């Protein structure tokens, strides 16, 4: 079967009444948590992981994918009306979107962001459907050494290249490695990092880590920052329908944003920050209304980054489904859901789990349609959600954090670990350490170790296997360039600009 | 004269950043200790369960030294973070709520523990209506309990309230079916 045939089959799976209901539930929940500050798709999917014991894989992945896409739509609403980006990917949307809302054009900003998300999300999902089979053909040539090198590349790009500091990003990643190693070593049966505690033999559940870092850590941080200035909700003014001029100014940024977002998301680097910032810079340069940027708010500055954000969110699914390589915290938690079903995402997934994968992709198209309806005519509902006062919101988040954690094994030890991770999450948030690499390191670290040991066993303990294979060598070289390159470049820049400033003898 | 002296003075030491660096170094030490505790069979000498932990430990040592260097050069905190004072009272109340939850969840059950935590956290965040918050917390905790316990099949610690309600619900369902 070709891609279209598979896709038709996928729609047959997704269009069953129950799966449509899961999709509706996921998109609604996703929009809600996207709108609410302090809640994100990674945390929500982690809390819902127990559902994998109850329902078929298709149903839970359609639910998770709906949450994933929905959070992107909902996040932009918060950025535009509250100026508090709900997700790191919507920081750029807040730049122009909030200014538009303040100058009375909030309706148009919300409309261009929702329709742009729909356009780019649909293009991105088409990209997943057509690119995934191609990547699979390529990935079938991968041996354990290549997989390990690819994971090293992903580790470097996720933690060192993105974000404000490579040292802090890598620190988060290594903390994730340590958490991932806790428990019984699957190959030899030896307990590792258990500190002699029987409770740790099964390892630390990803639910506890995600909830600790994202829910408890975030709540502590918000409590500690009460003296910081508060953002006010800008009342929604203006029609939700864009004028002809606004359509004319929006459609090109949507397409450009999708063209930037999808490829960057699909690379084993992931992250929505780079494509959104890139799209913003390009739109600012190309716009004929430069005077609106940073003053009353330019619609191009909302349309482009929002499209880039959603297209890259779709792109992230390509390495996740074809290589089992998650490049965002949400994707890493979805990977652990696959593991919970005993499914190993990788090149064989598209054929062995055709129902699941193509049903999932088809449901993403449906999710986009539902989301644009949920987020335009029903926008008033979500604005009301923004008015939930902070005390009750954060207290409620902690109640759900307890449910998710204590429900795993009714062990107070889990709560103690949760609070320790919450304290770590607070410190990380306060001192600007990224949290996503912890989750990625924890999920992907053990997989990288397995591939590493497999490669070494095949090569009879010969370390050179990683650079004797040309593909593996290429991937490792790219990782090295990613790690060292920016520093060398910064150093050269520094040397060049430094010269005249430091001329001695200021007298 | 004094102004030029100030310009030449080295950047101030970032104390919290230094503590983080040292803390990470201590974690690397703990990793080393636990790695040495992993039993290794001599038959399995090629790539045993210790190799990855050692690589991780080495990475953590390098990273913690880099963090310490950055701290000695003045730290990396953005100015706005430094300038906003930490609200210790609010944080303390949130922590008190978490600890209360931990201590009460086994003896009294999930709902009671959650309500106590809910009220304390709300108070910490500045809400001054403890009774209303308690009621809200009760509704939310029961919704969460029955949502998860009944719909998702997750077992959360049941206390007096949950057991009574479970008996009630089963009775109602039984009558409905009968």
Q: Which of A129-133, A473-477, A492-496 has the lowest mean pLDDT?
A: A492-496
Contact A18, A59 (CB under 8 A): yes
The pLDDT score that the predictor gives to residue A437 is: 92
Chain B residues within an 8 Å CB radius of A400: 144
Alpha carbon distance B92, B87 (integer Å):
9
Q: Is residue B67 part of a domain?
A: yes
Do B53 and B100 have their domain in common?
A: no
| Mutate which: A391, A405, A422, vs B, most B CBs within 10 A | A391
Alpha carbon distance A32, A47 (integer Å):
15
Distance of CA B125 to CAs A37, A221, A444, B14, Å? 15, 11, 37, 29
The pLDDT score that the predictor gives to residue A270 is: 64
Section A436-441 average pLDDT: 93
Which residues contact residue A265 at a Cβ distance below 8 angstroms, ignoring those fewer than 6 apart? A124, A271, A272, A275, A311, A312, A313, A314, A315, A316, A318
Instruction: Verify whether the Cβ–Cβ distance B53 to A193 is below 8 Å.
Output: yes
- Locate A30 and state its tokens: 């996703």
Instruction: Verify whether the Cβ–Cβ distance A402 to B113 is below 8 Å.
Output: yes
Do B57 and B101 have their domain in common?
A: no
Do B51 and B93 have their domain in common?
A: no
Contact A411, A193 (CB under 8 A): no
| Mutate which: B101, B128, B153, vs A, most A CBs within 10 A | B101
Distance of CA A180 to CAs A183, A209, A271, A447, B33, Å? 8, 10, 22, 10, 17
Quick check: B107 contacting A, CB < 8 Å?
Answer: no
- For chain B, the domain total comes to 2
The pLDDT score that the predictor gives to residue A452 is: 92
The helix/strand/coil state of A239 is coil
Q: Which of A236-240, A280-284, B48-52 has the lowest mean pLDDT?
A: A236-240
Cβ-nearest to A195 among B34, B51, B121: B34
The pLDDT score that the predictor gives to residue B4 is: 41
Which among B83, B112, B138 is the end of a domain?
B83
Residues 45-104 of B with CB under 8 A from A: 46-49, 51-53, 56, 59-60, 63-64, 66-67, 70, 76-78, 80-81, 84-88, 90-91, 93-95, 97-98, 101-102
Higher per-residue confidence, A125 vs A79: A125
Contact A476, A159 (CB under 8 A): no
Do B107 and B64 have their domain in common?
A: no
| Mutate which: A407, A430, A463, vs B, most B CBs within 10 A | A407
For residue B177, is pLDDT > 60?
no
Do B95 and B60 have their domain in common?
A: no
The pLDDT score that the predictor gives to residue A348 is: 87
The pLDDT score that the predictor gives to residue B45 is: 54
Contact B141, B114 (CB under 8 A): yes
How distant is the Cα of B169 from the closest Cα of chain A, in angstroms?
A: 20
Section A71-97 average pLDDT: 82
| Mutate which: A155, A169, A175, A395, vs B, most B CBs within 10 A | A395
What's A31-97 look like in SS3?
Answer: HHHHHCCCCCHHHHHHHCHHHHHCCCHHHHHHHHHHHHHHHHHHHHHHHHHHCCCCCHHHHHHHHHH
Quick one: pLDDT band at residue B153, thresholds 50, 70, 90?
Answer: low
Query: How many Cα atoms occupy the beta-carbon half-sphere of B142 within 13 Å?
Result: 13
Alpha carbon distance A169, A413 (integer Å):
28
Do B46 and B71 have their domain in common?
A: yes
The alpha carbon torsion through A320, A322, A325, A330 (nearest 10 deg) reads 10
Q: Which of A238-247, A251-260, B136-145 has the lowest mean pLDDT?
A: A238-247
- Locate A413 and state its tokens: 């030890």
Chain B residues within an 8 Å CB radius of A449: 52
Count the Cβ atoms, other than its own, within 10 Å of residue B115: 27
Chain A residues within an 8 Å CB radius of B90: 223-224, 226
A161-202: pLDDT as tens digits: 767 788 999 999 999 999 999 998 878 888 899 888 888 888
Alpha carbon distance A485, A457 (integer Å):
32
Section B127-142 average pLDDT: 92
Quick check: B109 contacting A, CB < 8 Å?
Answer: no
Domain enclosing residue B38, as ranges? 9-83
Contact A314, A127 (CB under 8 A): yes
The helix/strand/coil state of A485 is helix
Q: Name which of A58, A42, A30 is nearest A361 in CA terms.
A: A58
Cβ-nearest to B24 among A171, A396, A461: A171
Section A270-293 average pLDDT: 86
Sign of CA dihedral A338, A343, A349, A351: negative
Chain B: residue whose CA lies nearest to A426: B91
One-character DSSP codes across A267-290: STT--SHHHHHHHHHHHHHH-S-G
Contact A371, A70 (CB under 8 A): yes
| Bridge partners (DSSP) listed for residue A191 | A184
Please classify residue A272 by burial: count the beta carbons closer than 10 Å to its beta carbon, then call 0-12 exposed, 13-18 middle and 19+ buried: buried
Quick one: pLDDT band at residue B116, thresholds 50, 70, 90?
Answer: very high
Instruction: Verify whether the Cβ–Cβ distance A392 to B86 is below 8 Å.
Output: no
Which percentage of chain A shows pLDDT scores above 70?
Answer: 95
Give the Cα-Cα-Cα angle A322, A39, A76 (nearest 5 degrees): 80
Alpha carbon distance A278, A387 (integer Å):
32
For residue A214, is pLDDT > 60?
yes
How distant is the Cα of A264 from the closest Cα of chain B, in angstroms?
A: 28
For residue A6, is pLDDT > 50?
yes
Alpha carbon distance A397, A219 (integer Å):
8
Contact A316, A270 (CB under 8 A): yes
| Bridge partners (DSSP) listed for residue A192 | A183
How distant is the Cα of B10 from the closest Cα of chain A, in angstroms?
A: 16
The pLDDT score that the predictor gives to residue A254 is: 95
Beta carbon pairs, A and B, within 8 Å:
195
Q: Which of A5-19, A226-240, A432-446, B22-36 has the lowest mean pLDDT?
A: A226-240
Do B73 and B125 have their domain in common?
A: no
Do B27 and B98 have their domain in common?
A: no
Do B26 and B76 have their domain in common?
A: yes
For residue A377, is pLDDT > 80?
yes
The pLDDT score that the predictor gives to residue A272 is: 75
Cβ-nearest to B156 among A406, A412, A431: A406
For residue A32, is pLDDT > 90?
yes
Chain B residues within an 8 Å CB radius of A193: 31, 34, 53
Do B108 and B61 have their domain in common?
A: no
A308-365: pLDDT as tens digits: 999 999 999 999 999 999 999 999 999 999 999 999 888 888 888 888 999 999 999 9
For residue A366, is pLDDT > 90?
yes
Give the Cα-Cα-Cα angle A165, A171, A177 (nearest 5 degrees): 140
What's A360-377 look like in SS3?
Answer: HHHHHHHHHHHHHHHHCC
The pLDDT score that the predictor gives to residue A236 is: 74
Q: Give chain A's mean pLDDT.
A: 88
Contact A356, A1 (CB under 8 A): no
Do B98 and B160 have their domain in common?
A: yes
B51-110: pLDDT as tens digits: 899 999 999 999 999 999 999 988 888 777 777 788 899 999 999 999 999 999 988 888
Query: How many Cα atoms occupy the beta-carbon half-sphere of A419 within 13 Å?
Result: 16
Cβ-nearest to A224 among B91, B106, B121: B91
Alpha carbon distance A399, B138 (integer Å):
10
Which DSSP symbol is given to A431? T
Q: Which of A4-13, A269-278, A494-503, B107-116 has the lowest mean pLDDT?
A: A494-503
| Mutate which: B26, B38, B107, vs A, most A CBs within 10 A | B38
Chain A residues within an 8 Å CB radius of B63: 167, 170-171, 174
For residue A70, is pLDDT > 50?
yes
The pLDDT score that the predictor gives to residue A126 is: 95
Q: Is residue B137 part of a domain?
A: yes
Alpha carbon distance A236, A357 (integer Å):
39
Contact B13, B74 (CB under 8 A): yes
Q: Is residue B2 part of a domain?
A: no
Q: Name which of A320, A316, A305 is nearest A264 in CA terms.
A: A316
The pLDDT score that the predictor gives to residue B178 is: 37
Instruction: Verify whether the Cβ–Cβ distance B113 to A394 is below 8 Å.
Output: no
Do B92 and B167 have their domain in common?
A: yes
Domain ranges of chain A: 3-492
């Amino acid at each position: 079967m070709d891609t279209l045939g598979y896709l038709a089959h996928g729609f047959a799976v997704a269009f069953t009444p129950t799966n449509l209901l899961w999709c509706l539930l996921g998109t609604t929940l996703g929009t809600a948590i996207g709108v609410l500050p302090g809640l994100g798709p990674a945390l929500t999917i982690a809390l819902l992981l127990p559902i994998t014991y109850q329902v078929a894989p298709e149903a839970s992945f359609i639910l998770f994918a709906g949450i994933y896409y929905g959070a992107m739509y909902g996040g932009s609403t918060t950025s535009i009306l509250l100026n508090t980006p709900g997700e790191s990917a919507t920081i750029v949307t807040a730049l122009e979107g909030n200014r538009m809302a303040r100058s009375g054009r909030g309706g148009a900003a919300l409309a261009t962001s929702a329709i742009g998300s729909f356009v780019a999300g649909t293009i991105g999902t088409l990209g997943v459907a057509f690119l995934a089979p191609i990547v699979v053909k390529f990935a079938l040539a991968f041996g354990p050494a290549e997989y390990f090198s690819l994971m090293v590349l992903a580790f470097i790009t996720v933690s060192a290249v993105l974000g404000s500091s490579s040292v802090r990003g890598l620190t988060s990643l290594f903390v994730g490695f340590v958490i991932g190693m806790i428990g019984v070593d699957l190959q030899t049966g030896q307990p590792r990092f258990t500190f002699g505690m029987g409770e740790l033999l099964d390892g630390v559940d990803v639910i506890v880590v995600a909830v600790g870092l994202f829910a408890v850590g975030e709540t502590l941080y918000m409590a500690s920052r009460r003296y910081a200035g508060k953002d006010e909700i800008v009342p929604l003014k203006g029609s939700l329908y864009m004028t002809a001029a606004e359509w004319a100014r929006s459609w090109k940024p949507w397409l450009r944003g999708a063209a930037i977002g999808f490829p960057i998301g699909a690379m084993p680097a992931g992250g929505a920050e780079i494509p959104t910032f890139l799209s913003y810079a390009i739109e600012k340069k190309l716009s004929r209304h430069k005077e609106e940027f940073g003053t009353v708010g330019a619609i191009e500055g909302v349309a482009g980054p929002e499209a880039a954000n959603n297209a890259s969110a779709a792109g992230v699914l390509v390495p996740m489904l074809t290589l089992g390589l998650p490049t965002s915290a949400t994707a890493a938690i979805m990977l652990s859901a696959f593991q919970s079903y005993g499914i190993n995402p990788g090149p064989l997934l598209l054929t062995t789990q055709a129902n699941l994968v193509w049903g999932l992709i088809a449901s993403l198209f449906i999710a986009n349609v539902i989301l644009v309806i949920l987020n335009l005519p029903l926008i008033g509902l979500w604005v009301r959600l923004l008015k939930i006062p902070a005390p009750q919101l954060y207290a409620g988040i902690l109640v759900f954090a307890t449910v998710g954690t204590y429900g795993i094994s009714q062990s107070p030890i889990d709560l103690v670990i949760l609070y320790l991770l919450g304290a770590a999450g607070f410190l990380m948030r306060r001192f600007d350490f990224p949290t996503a690499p912890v989750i990625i390191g924890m999920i992907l670290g053990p997989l990288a170790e397995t591939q590493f040991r497999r490669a070494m066993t095949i090569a009879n303990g010969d370390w050179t296997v990683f650079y004797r294979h040309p593909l593996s060598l290429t991937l490792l070289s790219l990782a090295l360039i990613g790690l060292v390159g920016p520093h060398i470049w910064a150093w050269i820049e520094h040397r060049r600009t430094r010269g005249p400033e430091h001329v001695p003898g200021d007298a | 004269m004094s102004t030029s002296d100030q310009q030449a003075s080295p950047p101030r030491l970032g104390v919290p950043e230094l503590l983080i660096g040292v803390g990470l170094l201590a974690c690397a030490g703990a990793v080393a200790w636990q790695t040495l505790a992993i039993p290794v069979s001599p038959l399995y000498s090629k790539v045993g369960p210790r190799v990855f932990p050692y690589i991780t430990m080495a990475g953590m040592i390098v990273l913690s030294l880099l963090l310490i260097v950055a701290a000695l050069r003045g730290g990396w905190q953005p100015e706005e973070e430094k300038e906003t004072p930490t609200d210790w009272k609010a944080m303390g109340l949130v922590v008190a709520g978490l600890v209360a939850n931990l201590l009460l969840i086994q003896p009294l059950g999930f709902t009671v523990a959650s309500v106590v935590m809910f009220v304390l956290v709300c108070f910490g965040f500045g809400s001054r209506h403890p009774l209303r918050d308690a009621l809200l917390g009760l509704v939310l905790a029961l919704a969460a309990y029955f949502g998860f316990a009944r719909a998702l099949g997750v077992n959360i610690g049941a206390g007096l309230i949950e057991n009574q309600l479970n008996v009630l619900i089963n009775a109602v369902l039984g009558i409905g079916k009968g």
